[in-house]
Amino acid sequence: MAAMKSLSVLAALLTWANALDNGVGRLPAMGYDTFNAFSCDYTATSVLGQAMAMQQRGLVDAGYNILILDDCYALRNRSANGSMVADPSKFPSGIPAFSKQVNELGIKLAAYGDNGYETCAGYPGSYGRELQDLETWHSWGMSYLKYDNCYIPSDNITQKGEYGRYTRMADAIAQFAAKTGESPFLFSLCEWGWNQPWVWGKKLSQSWRIDGDIKPYWSAIAAIIDQVSFQYWSSDFYGHNDMDILEVGNTGQGSPPGNLTYEESKSHFTAWALMKSPLIIGTDLSNATDETFEILGNLDLIKINQDPNSGESISPFRWGVGADYVSDPNHPAEYWSGNSSYGVVFMILNSQDTNATMKFNLTESWAIQAGRQYSVYDMWQHKETGIAVRNMTFDLPPHGVAALLLNDAGPEPSYLNGSCALYYQCAFPNGTYISN
């Protein structure tokens, strides 16, 4: 008895220390969310337009396969038996029928809900009705839940912090899966980074928002990247920092209008993909530009985001403009690298408002081997661009990005005479330093 008990305590501790691995959400989610483009102003027709564009423009083939109905799909009042009711003016044929239409395009509908009495826009919240609402969403063909944090019960009722409040739905998801025998809902926390979800989020969920709502301006994108430079370590298989819905495509849209440049939009998408954030489209695709489709459909970056063998995010090895390890929302870290199945990944970001010449030594990255040269593949030009020896130098436009994949191309050239890239302590066998 005692032995059994300590074994199960040990098992519980092991589970506690690792990410929640219940079989879903191993890789970052990819899909669409109605919020950034439509807020509450959508109908079955406009949402179906998004799904059709995703399918027709190759985004479903690229991996975008969920469609989150964000806030405002329901009536404000629940039915007599307490269940949520889809708004018939938005979904005249009901959500189950709509769900089937979307499925035919290779996409699955996903749910939005809220941890409190009401959603942020004042529709029914799920506090106290977690299982009942999971039943409803399941009957609508959904198995993914984005869970918001508005109108939460007062502290004297919950007597819990964010972790405890979100545990209610995590437990309901596990209970519901046990009951149906189906895979658990993928659980996506939207509590805006309160109470450090990058620390505990992976115990309950597959992704956690790290910040408040994104905006379609560079200052917002740069601030999120700055935050990840201190939280990148949290993303790996089965658990991901959620950097929020993409703003790619929203230039000139909304009020005040979005104003990301093409270069800024590329930097935005590069960071989200390589930092292993969920990639959730948030623009009206029914009339999006070719540039928008080009960025969202960058298969080289999506391949790294969805790497089946390497779950880790890129990490900064040098901040650049600012001092290392110092937060600056205007000048986030500029020099990043990481490992992947396809080579060593580099992201070089020009955080300045002017053109800049960017330089780095290869061995500044932990993932590079000293004494080797590397072939360089550019993930925006989609081609090999040359061989890198020791260092790389290139010019980037304001807020521009380079996304590179480096692969071993043999020993360094002999003209380097075996000198060390980092010469401190580099010595001959007789103990004399090699100074270069």
Ligand X SMILES: *[C@@H]1O[C@H](CO)[C@@H](O)[C@H](O)[C@H]1NC(C)=O
Q: Which residues are catalytic?
A: 148, 213
Distances (CA, A) of 380 to 224, 302, 404: 22, 12, 8
Backbone angles phi, psi at 85, to 5 degrees: -125, 130
Nearer to ligand X, 106 or 254 (CB): 254
Q: How far is the CB of 309 from ligand X (least distance, A)?
A: 3
Task: Determine how many CB atoms are found less than 10 A away from the CB of residue 267.
Answer: 27
Footprint of ligand X on this chain (CB under 6 A)? 77, 79, 81, 83, 85, 154, 156-157, 217, 253, 256, 259, 284, 287-289, 309-310, 339, 341, 354-355, 361, 364, 367, 389-391, 397, 415-417, 419, 428, 430, 432
Residue keyed to tokens 């790497």: 307
Q: How far is the CB of 402 from ligand X (least distance, A)?
A: 14
Q: How far is the CB of 292 from ligand X (least distance, A)?
A: 7
Nearer to ligand X, 24 or 288 (CB): 288
Nearer to ligand X, 16 or 428 (CB): 428
Q: How far is the CB of 21 from ligand X (least distance, A)?
A: 17
Backbone angles phi, psi at 234, to 5 degrees: -80, -25
Contacts of 404 (CB under 8 A, 6+ apart): 345, 346, 347, 348, 376, 377, 378, 379, 392
Distances (CA, A) of 213 to 29, 48, 111, 168, 385: 18, 25, 18, 24, 37
Q: How far is the CB of 31 from ligand X (least distance, A)?
A: 20
Query: DSSP labels for 246-275?
Result: --TT-BT-TTTTB---HHHHHHHHHHHHHT
Nearer to ligand X, 85 or 121 (CB): 85
Q: How far is the CB of 310 from ligand X (least distance, A)?
A: 4
Decide the pairing of beta strands 186-189 and 240-242. unpaired
Contact 37, 296 (CB under 8 A): no
Distances (CA, A) of 323 to 315, 345, 357: 15, 23, 18
Nearer to ligand X, 106 or 397 (CB): 397
Q: How far is the CB of 232 from ligand X (least distance, A)?
A: 15
Backbone angles phi, psi at 167, to 5 degrees: -65, -30
Nearer to ligand X, 6 or 79 (CB): 79
Nearest to 373 by CA among 355, 359, 361: 361
Please state, in angstroms and rounded to a whole number, the distance separating the CA atoms of residues 113 and 73: 10
Nearer to ligand X, 354 or 425 (CB): 354
